[in-house]
Structures are given as C-alpha cells and as structure tokens.
Amino acid sequence: MKKFLFSISLILALFVGGCQSSSGAQAQHTSQSDETNHTTEASNETKASQRLQPALKKSATPTLFIHGYQGTTNSFKSMINDMQEENVAQREMLITVHADGSIDTQGELSGEKTNPLIQVIFEDNVNDEWNQTEWIKSTLSFLKEDYQIDKVNLVGHSMGGVSAYRYMGSYGQEDTLPEVENFIAIGAPFNDFVDTSNYQSIEDLLKEGPEEPSGRYQDFTELTPQIPNDVSMLLIAGQLNNEEYSDGTVPLTSALSIYPLLKNNDFKVDYSIIQGDRSSHSMLHENKKVNELIEQRLWKS
C-alpha cells in the first residue's frame, strides 16, 4: 500500500513539474517574442523617421550673407555658427567691401562640397542701396575671377535683401558674373516703409501688389523682368503678433510686396511669415525657424 501511494505521489510530482517547466518555457518564449516585436517596432520607427528627414545636399556653391543697414559681422554670426555646428554648411570666408569697391578677405574657399558660407560686410554700412548694389557686383566679380565661382546663393537681411534684389535686376543677365541660383530675403522693405495693411488685406496684397507703391517698388517693377526667372525666391517676413502687421520696423505688406510681381513674371517664389518669439526685425536672423527655412530651401529640398 505504501509503495502504491509513493508511486502515485511520484507521478503527480513529475506531472506538476512538467507543467511548470512547459509554462516557464512558454513565458520565456513570449518574453523573447515581445522583446523582438518592440525592437522591430523601434527599428521601423527609426527607418520611418529617416525617410521623413530630407536628405542633405552638399555642393561647392557658396551662399553669401548680406547684412542690413548698420550691419556688422554680428548680423549673421549666430545663424552661420548654428549651420556650421549642425554640419549643414561650413563657414569659409569673410569679405569686407570698401567704399571704392576694393575687397579684403579672411579665409579661403576650399572648393570642396561643404555648402560654403561667405559673410559679406560693407565697410560703409550706412550707404544707399545703389552703392551697395555695386559692392555686391564687386564681390561676385572677385569670386568669379579669383575662385572661378559660377553659381551663388544670396541671403539678405533688411536693406541687404533690397540691395541684392536690385543687383539681380541690374546685373543678373551678365554672363561674366556668377549665376544666382537662390535668393532669400529676410525682413526686406521692398516697398520701402509704406504700410498698406490699414486698407489692404494680406491676401489682396499677395494677389495685386501694394495699393500704394513706393518709388523703390516702382523701380522693381521695371527691374524684375531683367532677372533670370530660373532664380528661386523665398521671402521671409516677421510679424510681432496677430494685431500688428509688422516686425516692429518693416511692414509685413512691404516685406511681401514683390510676391505678386514675381509670380506674374513666372518665378518660383514662396513666402513665410514668422510670428512669436524672435520675430522682431533685428532678431529674425537669430530665429531657429528662419534657419530651418533657409536650410530647407538651399540644401534639403
């Protein structure tokens, strides 16, 4: 009898142990399967994120940064530093243009596909747009002659944008100068400081142009057809808040005034209105969103 009971107990013990072992193995397999699923999901999310990120294009085409009225080396310093730290582009040269058009440089263009950045400084930083136009021409002529540069991008803040636009309308057709591939204006008063927002909506401005055109704008209506229409254009404007149609200095309607002029002349043109933090005139080139717009336009599109 004792042997019989012992045999039954032994069988039950083996049965329970086997069930626990099977359950443990199943739990271990499930845990490993869950870990595999999580790893696969994370991998898929990473791949999807990589697909959403536009590829960074690198070329040897220089991008010139042209400051506004009273601008200095500090005007685009933060933006250029950020782009370099992000390994999007490389600061390679600083050009100082004297009043007589002569040029001093710091640094050298490497000729490599680094998305080279050039900061342009006017020694006389309070002169008019006509003289600045000639200084931009001197700068591009220097790059063509000394570095055999055939293409450039121009980024201008405030009056620097106005002068760069006048340069393109005055000299954009000359084959002895580098071709402008992209032009980006940041808070540039293309219709001077005329604010038409009190009697004209932004939507109407973008379709019809300013109801009160300044002398500068009238000049640009004549100069725009002289610009090669394969230049890609981006207009960036600041707006302090929903109640103010201005960046505190340049009216929104002025910064965007040439948009319909460009559309009517078959240019590829886009605009962006920057609101909120660092949307004031002097802070637009310190704004991360502006950086992103420029990077997207030049090197990630």
- pLDDT (0 to 100) of residue 54: 77
CATH number, domain at 70? 3.40.50.1820
| CA-CA-CA-CA dihedral for 157, 214, 180, 300, to nearest 10 | 50
For the stretch 275-284, pLDDT in tens is 988 999 999 9
Residues 76 and 19 in one domain: no
- Is 198 part of any domain? yes
Kind and range of the H or E run holding 107: strand 103-107
- pLDDT (0 to 100) of residue 57: 97
Q: What is the pTM of this model?
A: 0.84
Residues 138 and 112 in one domain: yes
- Is 208 part of any domain? yes
- pLDDT (0 to 100) of residue 44: 54
- Is 7 part of any domain? yes
CB contact at 8 A, 111 and 60 = yes
CB contact at 8 A, 133 and 177 = no
Q: What total number of domains does the chain contain? A: 2
Residue ranges in the chain modelled with pLDDT below 70: 1-53
Instruction: Give the integer Cα–Cα distance in Å for 34 and 132.
Output: 66
- pLDDT (0 to 100) of residue 30: 42
- pLDDT (0 to 100) of residue 53: 65
Nearest of 78, 94, 76 to residue 86 by alpha carbon: 78
CB contact at 8 A, 113 and 104 = no
Kindly state the DSSP code that residue 209 receives in the 8-state scheme: -
- pLDDT (0 to 100) of residue 221: 98
- Is 160 part of any domain? yes
Strand partners, 93: 107, 118
Tell me the two tokens of residue 98: 């004297």
Instruction: Give the integer Cα–Cα distance in Å for 255 and 205.
Output: 11
Residues 286 and 150 in one domain: yes
**Strands 232-239, 90-97: pairing kind:** unpaired
Structural domain range at position 191:
63-299
- 101 C-beta neighbours (distance < 10 Å), count: 14
Residues 68 and 13 in one domain: no
Residues 129 and 257 in one domain: yes
Q: Which residues contact 176 (CB under 8 A, 6 or more apart)?
A: 141, 144
Instruction: Give the integer Cα–Cα distance in Å for 107 and 95.
Output: 9
- Is 77 part of any domain? yes
Residues 124 and 268 in one domain: yes
Residues 83 and 106 in one domain: yes
- Is 214 part of any domain? yes
Instruction: Give the integer Cα–Cα distance in Å for 203 and 185.
Output: 20
- 24 C-beta neighbours (distance < 10 Å), count: 10
Residues 137 and 206 in one domain: yes
